[in-house]
Amino acid sequence: MGSAACYHLARRGKRVLGLEQFDLPHELGSHHGHSRMIRQSYYEHPDYVPLLQRGYQLWDELNELCGNKDPGQRIFHRTGGLYLGPRDGAIVPGALAAACEHGLDYQLLEAREVEQRFPAFRVGDGFVGFFEEDAGFIRPEKALRAHVNLACSHGAEIRTGEEILDWQENGSGVTVRTRRGMVEGGHLILTAGAWSGRMLRDLETGFSVTRQVLAWFDVAADRAGASLLLGDFPCWFIETEAPYGHYGFPMTEFGQRGFKIALHRPGEEMDDPAGERTGVSEEEIASLQGVLRKWIPDADGPLLASCTCLYTNSADGHFVLGPYPGNGNVTLAAGFSGHGYKFASVMGEILSDFACEGATPHPVEFLSPQRFA
Ligand SMILES: Cc1cc2nc3c(=O)[nH]c(=O)nc-3n(C[C@H](O)[C@H](O)[C@H](O)COP(=O)(O)OP(=O)(O)OC[C@H]3O[C@@H](n4cnc5c(N)ncnc54)[C@H](O)[C@@H]3O)c2cc1C
């Protein structure tokens, strides 16, 4: 979110300083792991759809700006998205409501139709499919680098290895204290991800930071030839633990080798995002493998890689975005609750609006930090 904001501010001709405590990108926060799903029929809430529509335009623009015609270099891949769940569950009716409210294209598929179209899936009893053509994935590390490089080409300064310790509004702007010294500016945008709690002082957002597991598996040995590849296979989400579920991506010839799967449900809570991370346990791997065995047996092969990543969950699962209550020179973007990356492109524009104009034409009132003030 921070790199996108730097880019949008710099391209408007503003003098911009980006401060990052680690490297860019890095593997200690929320943006690593090679892929982030992007979809428009937003079961979480239909009000996100207009933001996604602008987000899609900006991702396409970023691809063009980076000249990414070569599939291995592209930031945004359209694969289609298949969501499986009970007809009266959370995911399919939620996606349907968002699609109907905003006139989006979709197809409802019976279990048999899903298996005909995507033979790798075994669809459980009572489940139906919702297919959205205009879904896919973003490559987060690549997108972050692109935003940073473009910001710098428009004159922004980005400093890595510089931790912000605290901030204070002064009459005309903001003073920020970092490990290296003091910085003054007209406006501060706080995009500290899992470390946001430390920056918030009086705001009772009730953020919880959770450890999330992701893993990559090889194609099952007896199913060589099954195509789970980009081009043949969609991004997918299965409502395995209502209202949450497992999700994954097609296999690619770039990034991490293997078939990626993860569980979208807040995991084990972390007291300190910088604290010691436990490795991925055998039980956690076995649980992911059990899901593949049941729903996508072609992908039930040996484990190739695994890692952990952090969610910053807000109390209601919705983003916390807008002017910092009581501090007119500060804008907050946090609590992305495990579903924020797809919005990074449009967040850059929105955060830049708030910093430059004090307001944005985007409909983001429903995400305002005021609800926690
Ligand atoms: C396993 C996993 C899967 C996900 N899947 C999806 C998906 O499919 N689709 C989707 O849309 N979203 C997904 N998400 C969510 C998405 O990745 C996050 O919502 C998004 O990355 C949040 O961005 P951010 O900028 O808030 O956090 P980050 O990318 O973590 O950035 C915050 C940055 O602030 C820096 N920072 C913090 N404190 C300080 C300080 N004091 N001084 C200087 N720098 C500081 C941190 O080092 C960090 O680099 C997933 C997340 C995870 C963990």
Phi first, then psi: give them for residue 42, nearest 5 degrees. -85, 100
Give per-residue pLDDT as tens, 76-103. Answer: 999 999 999 999 999 999 999 999 999 9
Would you say residue 226 has pLDDT above 70?
Answer: no
Superfamily name and number for 36-138+208-313: D-Amino Acid Oxidase, subunit A, domain 2 (3.30.9.10)
Which string of DSSP letters, residue by residue, matches 60-128? HHHHHHTT--SGGG-SEEE--EEEEEETTSSHHHHHHHHHHHHT---EEE-HHHHHHHSTT--PPTTEE
Ligand 1 midpoint to CA 320 (Å): 14
Q: How does DSSP classify residue 11?
A: H
Pairing of strands 17-19, 136-138: unpaired
d(CA 351, CA 4): 9
Q: What is the pTM of this model?
A: 0.97
Positive or negative torsion for Cα 108, 110, 116, 121: positive
Share of the chain above pLDDT 90, in %: 89
Query: Where do the structural domains in the chain lie, given as residue ranges?
Result: 2-29+141-207+316-372, 36-138+208-313
Helices 2-11 and 344-357, packing angle to 10 deg: 50
Residue 221: its pLDDT value, please? 76
Closest residue CA from atom 50 of ligand 1: 338
CA distance 133 to 255: 23
Mean pLDDT of the chain: 95
Task: Say how far apart CA 373 and CA 370 lie, in whole Å.
Answer: 5
> In the predicted model, is pLDDT for residue 225 greater than 70?
no
Beta strands (DSSP E) in 135-172 are 136-138, 157-159, 164-170
My answer on whether omega of the bond before 25 falls inside 30° of 0, hence cis, is yes
SS3 216: strand
Tell me how far apart the alpha carbons of residues 91 and 101 are, in angstroms, rounded to a whole number.
15
- Percentage of residues of the chain with pLDDT beyond 70: 99
Is the pLDDT reported for residue 46 higher than 80? yes
Place of tokens 């692109």: 146
- Confidence grade of residue 305 (pLDDT, cut at 50, 70, 90): very high
pLDDT band at 332 (very low <50, low <70, confident <90, very high): very high
Which of 24, 36, 211, 342 to probe ligand 1 with, by most ligand atoms within 8 A of CB? 36
Q: Is 266 in the pocket of ligand 1 (CB under 6 A)?
A: no
- Protein residue with its CA nearest to atom 16 in ligand 1: 341
C-alpha to C-alpha distance for 240 and 217, rounded to whole angstroms: 19
2 Cα nearest atom in ligand 1 = 25
Question: Per residue in 118-160, pLDDT tens?
Answer: 999 999 889 999 999 999 999 999 999 999 999 999 999 999 9
Mean pLDDT along residues 252-275: 92
Q: Give me the CATH topology for the region 2-29+141-207+316-372.
A: FAD/NAD(P)-binding domain (3.50.50)
pLDDT band at 224 (very low <50, low <70, confident <90, very high): low
State whether the beta carbon of 261 lies less than 6 angstroms from ligand 1: no
188 CA to middle of ligand 1, Å? 18
pLDDT at 177: 98
| pLDDT at residue 201, as a whole number | 77
Which atom, in ligand 1's list, is nearest to the CA of 337? 19
